[in-house]
Structure 1
């Protein structure tokens, strides 16, 4: 019962997400929500390396694109079976992330951010310029949907929705166990003070590299899901602005929190899509809202709620102490 009470928010979200397709026939809504789930998986990777370990990676869109293009090229050009190509796409992204991390993590703070920004831009240039492999500006067309698993096919919007939701749930559970484990506390120790973490015997380079590699794996996983969901890939998914979009989702939701990527991504993706009819003028509404949120909730929506709850509990404890102290004095009298 205590486990259910601790995880009631996650269970409520899961219940609502499972039942949502039953209450709407609008395929566009399902498309937008599925897309927000895919971006959420990628943002969880950014949150791990940036929010928990304290290393801001600006190459995240590049790794997302590597996962997407790996799946697309393996299935379209090499005719590799879908699920084998899916696993290979995640592995390719992870291996590239490992070698990038070996070099990038020798730098610190803003130098790390600048280095990864350059790496992300190089990935974008490779995708944009290498016409023979990636299709360049024409993009990659005809990425197949996921192959059937037994009697379950993934041709409809509803089946794709539940497939992506299943991966999101797995990622959420993984992130929950990781961040609440000793490894997660190690990452937080590195974020708070890398020098102090080293003095207590933590191999900071190895831990940062593991965190970075996991984050690239999650980006590649999201990219592979995106490729088979959208069915068309263009170089813009690897552009620097895509990384900053992910960073915005994370900051709004709450960097370094478990629910932040979920809340921030879903909120911004749905709001921006709802304001599509305003075209370029939608930023006149969305921009001030974002600035207001960053000023008054610097830790994001989820971080702000957590701070409010912590202050409330602190005041409650102080009140109980004062009440207890008063009754003790009265008893002594």
Structure 2
């Protein structure tokens, strides 16, 4: 059995388990937490694309998440546009805003890019918080509709919402897989490793960075849209910098620059947080030291650490095999 076949078998097993969970577990609270986890994962994949594969840490990610959520809310609640039309318009609006911001932000590099996007994220928060006539200000938006029925399929029950958001998560993972394993993905990794070297072999640096940035805003918008239609109430807090840091923690714990890192990190942190709700006010006193230790000993996160351990084991086996062969050859010669 080849390694690739094993990998496909594991992926199919996980997908099958996710599809069968509603038949195994009958708990609405469980489905609520899992649905929220699916929504966060989509947003984390967007951050992973720009930070993990392109090497640019965007601290405005929560701002684009909020733009997607508020675009859907405003279009459906205030302008009474049909949900699915508002859904696609919200994605388009966020991507256009991301394109404009990216054209300026990507003129900077490294920590200057992070600082600039941090400022952009805070400006988005202020606009949402202060523009009461459009966003509702601190009161937020209430009564955002759930997705309309598709024939006999309704999206009002916890299980149907679970499947609805699982569908978009699987679509996002498939899209990320195709991007990462395409020429575009290899180009982004080349830019992350060395922009100067990538430029010398004819790669258009600005164009590819901009594509990566806009795609990351698309994932953030999709996550925000699904969040708004699931919770049905949004406030300015979803655009605050703490939201971006939550996305970043999910990514760092799971494994930045890996395909399965966002899933592992999000599930782990979300469920640990649920178990430690009685310590909610002291959450960062627990996660802070743990995250510091993880970054020191496993800078590539849990998934990256597992991959590194597997590589070391393979190299060790290879060395042992070569040593055994050389010993056999010496014995035969002797």
Common fold by TM > 0.5? yes
| Corresponding position of 1:146 | 147
Distance (whole Å) between structure 2 residues aligned to residue 315 and residue 166 of structure 1? 41
| Corresponding position of 2:329 | 328
Alignment check: 8 A CA contact 1:49 1:211 kept: yes
TM-score normalised over the length of structure 1 = 0.97
Where 2:203 maps in the other structure, the secondary structure is coil
Correspondences of 1:277-292 after superposition (within 5 Å): 277-292=278-293
Alignment check: 8 A CA contact 1:141 1:232 kept: yes
| Corresponding position of 2:89 | 88
Distance (whole Å) between structure 2 residues aligned to residue 121 and residue 285 of structure 1? 26
CA displacement at 1:27 relative to structure 2: 1.1
Distance (whole Å) between structure 2 residues aligned to residue 55 and residue 202 of structure 1? 17
Unpaired segments ≥5 residues, structure 1 = none
CA displacement at 1:303 relative to structure 2: 0.5
Distance (whole Å) between structure 2 residues aligned to residue 238 and residue 39 of structure 1? 14
Distance (whole Å) between structure 2 residues aligned to residue 31 and residue 174 of structure 1? 25
Where 2:253 maps in the other structure, the secondary structure is helix
| Corresponding position of 2:31 | 30
| Corresponding position of 2:224 | 223
CA displacement at 1:317 relative to structure 2: 0.7
| Corresponding position of 1:245 | 246
Deviations 1:3-33 (A, max 9, x none): 5423233222212211222222221111111
Q: How many residues align?
A: 333
Distance (whole Å) between structure 1 residues aligned to residue 81 and residue 16 of structure 2? 35
Unpaired segments ≥5 residues, structure 2 = none
Where 1:7 maps in the other structure, the secondary structure is helix
Distance (whole Å) between structure 1 residues aligned to residue 193 and residue 283 of structure 2? 38
Distance (whole Å) between structure 2 residues aligned to residue 4 and residue 50 of structure 1? 29
CA displacement at 1:63 relative to structure 2: 0.3
| Corresponding position of 1:309 | 310
Alignment check: 8 A CA contact 1:33 1:270 kept: no
Q: Does residue 1:78 correspond to 2:79, yes or no?
A: yes
| Corresponding position of 2:210 | 209
TM-score normalised over the length of structure 2 = 0.97
Alignment check: 8 A CA contact 1:139 1:233 kept: yes
CA displacement at 1:46 relative to structure 2: 0.4
Distance (whole Å) between structure 2 residues aligned to residue 9 and residue 218 of structure 1? 25
| Corresponding position of 2:277 | 276
Question: What is the aligned-residue RMSD (CA, Å)?
Answer: 1.3
CA displacement at 1:193 relative to structure 2: 0.4
- Further displaced range: 138-147 or 281-290: 281-290
